[in-house]
Each structure stands twice: as C-alpha cells, then as structure tokens.
C-alpha cells in the first residue's frame, strides 16, 4: 500500500443521520481527512459528534440510520457496500476508540486476547504475528511491563492504562483512520496528559489520520490540525486550530472559547472576615473495610463562603463528603455543626441537623427518582421538615422553581423528561427546599456540558449571594476552583496536603503535587502539550 | 380508547377481553350456569349435546356448569393467594434490602429454610395438620409463595437502594416505610408486575395439584385443575372431557400474560433518552 501524504483517505459528503422518530441528528456535514492529519470535532452533547464519528464507519446506533450523503474511504463509497463489505472496512481501515475503556473491554477475558481478537478474526495475522504486533504497540504506548501486560484482566490495570490498551486494540489491524471519541474525558488531568501525548505520537509515528472528538477545546487544540465546531448536528465553523482558538468567526464558537478561557482566571478573593464556621470536620478519618479513604482531615465551611476540595479520583474527596453528612461514620475525630458535636452515624442525627446540611450529587440522573414528579421531589423536603399544608408546599415549589430558573409548570413533569442541566437545577431546588446552611456539592457540573455547567455555576454563585448559603465544593476541575472558591483544600491519597485561600494555593510556593495538578490542566494554546512535556523531560 | 392514560395494544385488548369474560363468568356463575355445581344430571362422560353443551364429567355432572363455577373458585383462590403473597413478599423483600444487614440476614435465612423444603410437601404438612378449608388453603399458599416473591423483591430493591435518590431520602431522614413505599416501590413495579402474572398462573396450577391429592379445593366445589385430574382418564377413551378445563386454564394464563406484557412494554418505553446515548 502506498502511503502518499497528500492522499485524502476519509471523505464525508453531505452526511445526514436521522433517528427513527424522524429527528435529524446530523445534517449536511462534510469533511475531508488527509493522511497524517487530525481533525477535531467539538461541540456539546447532542451536537452529533459521536454520531459523525460512528457514521464515518458507516455505523449508526440503534434507533438511528444514515439517510443521506457519501462516506468515502480512499475514494471508495462504503455506504454502497453490503454488510459484509462494511464489516471488513471496520477495524481494518478505520477503528474506533471509545470514551469509556472500562465499558468497552470484556472483564472476563485477558487484555491480550481482546487486543489480538480483531486481526485474527479478520484473517489478517496469525496469532503469533498479532501478539508480536500487540507487544510492539504496548511498548509504543509506554505501558508498564509490556511483555506481561497482556496477561492481565481489566480490573488489574488503571484507567489510563486501560485507555491505552484500548488504543492498542484499535490499532491492532493497522488501520488508516482512527476515530477517537473523547478518549481522555474520563481520566484525571495528570493521566490525561500522558494519554494525550501517546495518542499524538501514535498517530504521527504510524502516519494515520484521525477524527478527535471532544467537548474540551483545550484538549483538541493539542492534537488537532483542524477543528470542526458542531451544534445541533450542523457544522458551525471549520478552520485551522489556531484560527478557531484565536479568531473564531461565529458567535457560538466565540462563546465556547470565552467560556473555556474564563476558567483560567482567579475570580474569588478570600473572605477576610470569616464568619464562625458552620460545618467543621476535625481530624476525621473514614475507612472502608481496612482501607483508609480519608486520613485525619480537618476542614471547615462558614455561611456565605465556598470551600473547594480538589483532587484526582480516588483521593478521598467524596468520602470526605460522606463523612461529614454521616453516611460514612468517622472512626477518629468529630464533625461539628454550629459548634455542636454530631453523632457519627446518620441514624442518630436529628431532623433539624440533617436539614442544615444538604448534598448535591454528580449524576443528576440517579439523584432524582424517575417515578416521582418534580413537584413531589422538591415538595417533599418542604413537607418533611416544615410540616406545611399541601397548598403551602405547592406555592413553595413554584417559588423554588423560579429561584433555580425553571418554569413553574415543570412541577407536574417527571424528571426523565428534562435535560441534564435542568435535572441538576431540580437537585439544587431540592437542596434549597430544606433551607440549609451548608450545601455539599459533589462534582455537580462534571456530568454536564461546558456551557450548561457554566450556567449552573453562575446559579450557585447567585444563590450564595442572595441566600448566604455556604458550599463545600468537591471537584477535580481546577478551572472551577479558580472561579468559585474562596478557600481551597487539595487532597491526595486521603490527606489534605494544602489548604488555604484559593489565591495562596494557586500562587508559589506550591506544594509539588499542586504544581503537577496545575501544570496538567490543558491550556488554550496549540503548543501547550509539547511545552509541558519538554519541561518535564 | 385509553386505559390509565395508555393505549392498549391489540394483544392487550385480547388479554383484557379474556380476563373480563372469565371474571364476569365467575361473578355471575349462579345466573349463567345451566345446572348446579354438584348435581349428577347425566351418565359418565356423555358426549356434548344440546342438553349438555360440553358433555358431562366422570360422575355425570354438567361440564359447562362445573367450568363456570370452577372459574369462581379457581380464579378467586389464585387471585387472593397471589395478591396476599405479593403483599407479604414485597414488604419483607424491600425491608430486607432497605433495613440493613441484621434484618436482611434474619429474613433471608428464614426464607432459605422455607425454600429448602419442597413446596408441595410443605403445603401437604400444613394442610393436613390444620385441615383444608379455603381460608387455610389461601393462607398457606400465600405464605409459601411469598418466599419466591421475597427473593425477587429483595433482588430488585437491592439494586435500587444504592441509587442516589434513595441516599438523598435517607439523608433527609426519611423512615424505612417511606423509602420502601415512595422511592423503591414505583421503580420496582415493572419486574414485580410481570412476576405477578407468572405467579398467578403457578398458583392456580398448584391449587390444581393439591386438589388432586385431596387437600386443595374440596368436593363438591369445582376447580379447573381438579377437573383436569378427575377427568384425565377420559383421554384414554378418546373423549375430550379433560380438555375443556385445561383449555380454560390455558386461556386464562395467556390472557393474564398478554396484559402483563403490555404493562411491561409501557414501562420499558424509552423516556427522554437522547440519541447520543
């Protein structure tokens, strides 16, 4: 096969994908991909990014179908091929790397068997050849102990390693085109940077073309040559990466860029005259079995202030929240509310104590009972804590809905009919219904799109200004911390390694880990990744 | 036309029609039946005729009248039993899932012990000790059957208890009863309803086997299962007698399951799932 550099290997023309219900998911999208080129697809969820990614393999998810346009791989229209022909192209010529590697591997098989399955079943390689190639890929992807890595099962490797194994699986047939669907979104920032660098190297070394799907402009900026901005299944803007970042033409792109840049600025000064702390954890330790998730941590939140807890997954942030609310009884130390020591276990806390500390979850989908109406969900705390009459409850629900910026007639709907951002607003309304002093927010925006997340943050801030509620804000996103937190605590392996006013935490002298975290957040420059890697050696 | 805000499918209508007819027959048995339940009016296994539309049974009673009265007994006993067994099984099953390790262990081990004794033998012992009145029959069957319901209810609820909306209710300070009734039950309904259809059928087949052993519904009361057993020998003479009650059982089973399928299909309809999912 000749590897001509200027050859167009993937060409989509006027692509159109419809749901069976008739809704148009992708409309009139065209793109061309040359060998060695990476095209970034940017947009919020529902923008049709993944649908385009899959459609370039002539695949549509259940309930959708490709209804128009051409999909050409090296000049051959794959849509005209029969099922067998399409199946042969998939994996061999064009391969897909999904967001959640954990969900894409079968936990019952060893990694090597899954990585070598495709070339063997397509009859491209013998088992020995496939394994030798897999080993080469494992080495290229910098996996630990590449010789024995394939003998492991999915649960024996970390998330970042699994994502790299997934890249090896996609590469197993030596495809020409890779479709990368948010490959680093589920990873911590420090891991993301490694995976990103390796993927970039892989694409360059093997001279492939790639579609890189992401919601994060800064991430795409590191790997993509060109960027396509999508909204509601339509192209908004296509251009060189530098142009999109620096001089976006369309309003929507401008909003995306501006929103991403806002995250870099420090917004909140520390409150100088702190009120007496309302919720305090003093020297608390929490264990699961014999594992110490939280080790001798002290933290305090006062009314009207936001205290951020940052750390990577597994650092004990959420466990700390569970300790404070009593879901996880503390084995050392104590939790105080308004200066009074609370019983360690939830069961022994009284109703008024419970009312004063509310929790907002990361996944609004599972935090709202899908069989209750919004009115029931928000009304229950009102009825439960304040013993109001049904009419009063109804009035209060309407008031709360207005407060979180939703129409009053939502009270009669089920939560399943709402979008992610609206659901999170309902969760906030439910927390406010209890008229709490402190709300513990456990990654409330990480399941949401950037612009939606931004709205939720603004709402939280505005509610703090009007109601004076205090937030303990758990997040892995340093951008959010900069924007909303008066004080910040950095967690690593169950301990708080740095705590203080946000400005101090984000200014030298850094704790080495804080510095690593900070330098791992992708910046809106195309050469950021190379710089960081060069600096780290 | 809509039912509870949903439009039944054509198969659901068929199922509803079958169930309605059987229930009407059961309620108005006295009015519809041409003969009485227990009176011998002809010879053993007379052929169908204008006098006896479906012929007569093994001791010369009118088959049609027995079927009609049998509907009352069979459907009635099975329905009451199943409802009762679901009340017991669902409540205890949810309690085991929500109430913590100690309650779960106690309830689950009791159920394990009960499940380890074969159902039929267990029922035989209880019914022969307490005597077989309709009341003891229903109570015994309901308690025994509830162990199966318990298993399902506990399994379903265990998956729901870990959801964050249940955790949110706990954090609010809600009691066990509220969590079971308002947070768990509505989400556990789909599998529970389909199980209801199945267990209803099992129950009325089980009543039939007990009747055969003489501990189920006592003569002269008619029940379909008992009628199949009583008239089973007729098959070897090439006579259709046992087919009529068997057909009634089959129709009732199919009817119930058609409706159950429809209810399940309502619940499994995608609601608000985005195309990107």
Determine the Cα–Cα distance for residues A312 and A308; give it in Å rounded to an integer.
13
Do B274 and A384 make contact, defined as CB atoms within 8 angstroms?
no
Q: Determine which of A93-107, A279-293, A375-389 has the lowest per-residue pLDDT on average.
A: A93-107
Instruction: Give the model confidence (pLDDT) of A259-277 as tens digits.
Output: 777 666 666 666 666 678 8
Tell me how crowded residue B95 is: count the other CB atoms within 10 A of its CB. 20
Residue B203 lies in a domain: yes
Domain count, chain B: 1
Residue B2 lies in a domain: no
Q: Is it the case that residue A337 has pLDDT exceeding 70?
A: yes
Determine the Cα–Cα distance for residues B277 and B274; give it in Å rounded to an integer.
6
Nearest of B68, B214, B80, B95 to residue B153 by alpha carbon = B95
Nearest of B82, B93, B217 to residue B144 by alpha carbon = B82
3-state secondary structure of A100: coil
Residue B175 lies in a domain: yes
Residue B171 lies in a domain: yes
Residue B191 lies in a domain: yes
Q: Is it the case that residue B271 has pLDDT exceeding 60?
A: no
3-state secondary structure of B223: coil
Give the up-direction half-sphere exposure of residue A74: CA atoms within 13 A in the CB hemisphere. 14
The continuous run of DSSP H or E covering A67 comes out as strand A64-73
- Cβ distance A110 to A134 under 8 Å? no
Sign of CA pseudo-dihedral A321, A327, A328, A333: positive
Q: Is it the case that residue A433 has pLDDT exceeding 90?
A: yes
List the domains of chain A with CATH numbers. Answer: 8-262 (3.40.50.300), 277-505 (3.40.50.300)
Cα radius of gyration rounded to whole Å, chain B: 22
- Give Dmax (Cα) for chain B: 72
pLDDT-derived band of residue B273, with 50, 70 and 90 as boundaries? very low
Do B187 and A369 make contact, defined as CB atoms within 8 angstroms?
yes
Å from B138 to nearest chain A CA? 33
- Chain B residue nearest residue A363, CA to CA: B164
Average pLDDT (A252-264) is 78
CATH number of the domain to which B144 belongs: 1.10.3720.10
Query: Which domain covers residue B229, as residue numbers?
Result: 10-267
> What pLDDT sits at residue A312?
83
Nearest of B272, B152, B195 to residue A368 by alpha carbon = B272
Question: Considering only CB atoms, which chain B residues are within 8 Å of A25?
Answer: 275-276
In the block, tokens 């080129």 appear at A37
3-state secondary structure of A469: coil
The continuous run of DSSP H or E covering A230 comes out as strand A226-231
> What pLDDT sits at residue A184?
82
> What pLDDT sits at residue B272?
32
Report the mean per-residue pLDDT for chain A.
86
Q: Which of A312-321, A332-341, A409-418, A446-455 has the highest mean pLDDT?
A: A332-341
Q: Which of A51, A361, A372 sits opposite B276 (nearest CB)?
A: A51
Question: Considering only CB atoms, which chain A residues are within 8 Å of B165?
Answer: 366-369
Interchain contact B162–A (C-beta under 8 A): no
Average pLDDT (B118-134) is 86
Residue B179 lies in a domain: yes
Residue B276 lies in a domain: no
Do B183 and A363 make contact, defined as CB atoms within 8 angstroms?
no
The continuous run of DSSP H or E covering A70 comes out as strand A64-73
ipTM for the assembly: 0.76
- In sequence order, the 6+-apart residues with CB closer than 8 A to the CB of B210 are B120, B123, B124, B127, B132, B137, B216, B217
Question: Considering only CB atoms, which chain B residues are within 8 Å of A51?
Answer: 275-276
Q: End-to-end CA distance of chain A, in Å?
A: 36
Instruction: Give the model confidence (pLDDT) of B165-220 as tens digits.
Output: 999 999 998 989 999 999 999 989 888 888 888 888 888 778 877 877 778 887 77
> What pLDDT sits at residue B277?
25
> What pLDDT sits at residue B270?
43
Interface test with B, best of A98, A371, A419 (most B CBs within 10 A): A371
> What pLDDT sits at residue A358?
93
Long-range contacts: A258-263, Cβ < 8 Å, 24+? Answer: A259/A450, A259/A451, A259/A454, A260/A216, A260/A217, A260/A218, A260/A450, A260/A524, A261/A524, A262/A454, A262/A483, A263/A477, A263/A479, A263/A480, A263/A482, A263/A483
> What pLDDT sits at residue A2?
46
Assigned token pair, B71: 């509907």
- Cβ distance A65 to A79 under 8 Å? no
Q: Is the peptide bond before A509 cis (omega within 30 degrees of 0)?
A: yes
> What pLDDT sits at residue A5?
60
Give the up-direction half-sphere exposure of residue A128: CA atoms within 13 A in the CB hemisphere. 0
> What pLDDT sits at residue A268?
65
pLDDT over 90 for what percent of chain B?
A: 30
Residue B39 lies in a domain: yes
Instruction: Give the model confidence (pLDDT) of A268-307 as tens digits.
Output: 666 666 678 899 999 999 888 888 889 999 999 999 899 9
Do B183 and A369 make contact, defined as CB atoms within 8 angstroms?
yes
Q: Which of B164, B172, B275 sits opposite A381 (nearest CB)?
A: B172
Nearest of A468, A437, A436, A443 to residue A457 by alpha carbon = A443
pLDDT over 90 for what percent of chain A?
A: 26
């Amino acid at each position: 096969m000749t590897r001509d550099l200027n050859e167009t290997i993937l060409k989509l023309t006027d692509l159109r994908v419809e749901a069976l219900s008739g809704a148009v998911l992708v409309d009139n999208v065209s793109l061309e991909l040359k060998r060695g080129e990476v095209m970034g697809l940017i947009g919020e969820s529902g923008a049709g990014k993944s649908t385009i990614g899959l459609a370039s393999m002539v695949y549509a998810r259940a309930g959708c179908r490709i209804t128009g346009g051409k999909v050409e791989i090296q000049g051959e229209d794959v849509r005209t091929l029969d099922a067998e022909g399409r199946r042969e192209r998939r994996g061999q010529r064009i391969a897909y790397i999904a967001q959640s590697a954990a969900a894409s591997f079968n936990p019952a098989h060893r990694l090597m068997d899954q990585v070598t399955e495709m070339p063997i079943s397509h009859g491209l390689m013998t088992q020995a050849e496939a394994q030798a190639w897999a080993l080469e890929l494992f080495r290229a992807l910098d996996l630990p102990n590449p010789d024995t890595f394939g003998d492991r099962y999915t649960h024996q490797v970390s998330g970042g390693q699994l994502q790299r194994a997934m890249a090896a699986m996609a590469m197993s047939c030596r495809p020409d085109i890779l479709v990368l669907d948010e490959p680093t979104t589920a990873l911590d920032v420090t891991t993301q940077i490694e995976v990103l660098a390796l993927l970039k190297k892989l694409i360059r070394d093997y001279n492939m073309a790639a579609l890189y799907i992401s919601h994060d402009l800064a991430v795409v900026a590191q790997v993509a040559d060109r960027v396509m901005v999508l909204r509601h299944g339509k192209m908004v803007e296509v251009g060189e990466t530098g142009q999109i970042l620096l001089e976006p033409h369309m309003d929507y792109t401008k909003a995306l860029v501006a929103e991403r840049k806002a995250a870099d600025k420090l917004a909140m000064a520390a409150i100088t005259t702190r009120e007496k702390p309302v919720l305090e954890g003093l020297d608390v330790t929490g264990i699961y079995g014999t594992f110490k998730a939280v080790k001798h941590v002290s933290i305090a939140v006062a009314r009207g202030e936001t205290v951020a807890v940052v750390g990577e997954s597994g650092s004990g942030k959420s466990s700390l929240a569970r300790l404070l609310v009593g879901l996880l009884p503390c084995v050392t130390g104590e939790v105080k509310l308004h200066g009074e020591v609370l019983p360690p276990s939830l069961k022994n806390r009284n109703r008024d104590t419970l009312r004063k500390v509310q929790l907002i979850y990361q996944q609004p989908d599972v935090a709202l009972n899908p069989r209750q109406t919004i009115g029931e969900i928000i009304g229950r705390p009102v009825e439960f804590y304040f013993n109001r009459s049904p009419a009063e409850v109804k009035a209060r629900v309407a008031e709360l809905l207005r407060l979180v910026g939703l129409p009053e007639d939502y009270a009669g709907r089920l939560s399943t009919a709402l979008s992610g951002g609206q659901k999170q607003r309902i969760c906030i309304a439910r927390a406010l219904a209890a008229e709490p002093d402190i709300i513990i927010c456990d990654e409330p925006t990480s399941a949401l799109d950037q612009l939606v997340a931004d709205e939720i943050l603004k709402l939280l801030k505005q509610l703090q200004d009007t109601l004076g509620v205090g937030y303990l804000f758990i997040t892995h996103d340093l951008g959010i911390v900069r924007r909303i937190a008066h004080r910040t605590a950095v967690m690593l392996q169950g301990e708080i390694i740095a705590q203080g006013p946000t400005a101090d935490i984000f200014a030298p002298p850094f704790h080495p880990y804080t510095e690593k975290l900070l330098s791992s957040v992708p910046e809106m420059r195309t050469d950021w990744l190379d710089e960081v890697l060069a600096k780290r050696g | 036309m809509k039912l509870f805000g949903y439009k039944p499918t054509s198969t659901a209508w068929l199922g509803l029609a079958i169930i309605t007819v059987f229930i009407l027959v059961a309620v108005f048995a006295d009015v519809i039946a041409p003969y009485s339940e227990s009176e011998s009016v002809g010879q053993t296994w007379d052929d169908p005729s204008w006098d006896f539309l479906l012929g007569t049974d093994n001791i010369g009673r009118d088959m049609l009248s027995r079927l009609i009265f049998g509907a009352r007994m069979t459907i009635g006993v099975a329905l009451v039993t199943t409802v009762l067994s679901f009340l017991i099984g669902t409540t205890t099953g949810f309690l085991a899932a929500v109430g913590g390790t100690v309650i779960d262990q106690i309830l689950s081990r009791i159920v394990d012990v009960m499940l380890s004794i074969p159902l039929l033998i267990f029922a035989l012992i209880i019914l022969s000790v307490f005597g077989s009145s309709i009341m003891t029959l229903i109570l015994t069957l309901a308690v025994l059957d509830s162990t199966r319901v318990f298993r399902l209810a506990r399994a379903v609820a265990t998956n729901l208890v870990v959801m964050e909306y249940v955790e949110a209710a706990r954090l609010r300070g809600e009691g066990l009863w509220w969590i079971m009734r308002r947070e768990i039950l509505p989400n556990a309904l789909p599998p529970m309803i389909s199980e209801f259809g199945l267990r209803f059928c099992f129950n009325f087949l089980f009543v039939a086997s007990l009747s055969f052993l003489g501990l189920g519904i006592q003569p002269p009361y008619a029940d379909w299962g008992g009628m199949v057993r009583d008239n089973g020998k007729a098959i070897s003479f090439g006579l259709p007698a046992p087919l009529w009650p068997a057909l009634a059982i089959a129709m009732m089973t199919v009817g119930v399951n058609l409706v159950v399928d429809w209810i399940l299909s309502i619940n499994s309809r995608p609601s608000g799932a985005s195309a990107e999912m």
